[in-house]
Amino acid sequence: MMEIHIAIGDIETLETENWQVVPDDRQQLVEIIGGVAVQDFGHVEAGDKISCTVRLRKKDFKTLVGYWDSRTPVTVTDEAGDVWENLRVIVKSYEYVPHFPSKAVQASLEFWRI
């Protein structure tokens, strides 16, 4: 049985690399005369971004492009088994997998929490 790296909606990826979460932390250091101040609007979860590179079957890539084109929110289950709900999929780039161009695609993705 093949190990599933992550699930994106109804899609199961073959491989996932470089899973990275970038929190939307809205604090800023403000320089003022004689010191500094912090302007802090907190962590806004709806602005968090996740990025990764995946390999998936070509038929699943077509489904993924459908999520992206229609702006369909999806649920993603990561490699640790954590479930991320209501994510928007952004396909940043893609290419065919060498030696398997008719069967597999490698894609750079970004997910936005909305």
Backbone angles phi, psi at 2, to 5 degrees: -80, 140
Tokens standing for residue 47: 């602005």
The predicted pLDDT at position 2 comes to: 47
Angstrom distances, CA of residue 52 to CA of 5, 22, 28, 40: 11, 11, 27, 29
pLDDT tens readout for residues 64-100: 999 999 999 999 999 999 999 999 999 999 999 988 8
- How high does pLDDT run on average in the chain? 93
May I ask the CATH architecture of the domain 7-113?
Beta Barrel (2.40)
| Residues in a beta bridge with 77 | 7, 83
Q: What is the pTM of this model?
A: 0.83
For the chain, what are the domain ranges? 7-113
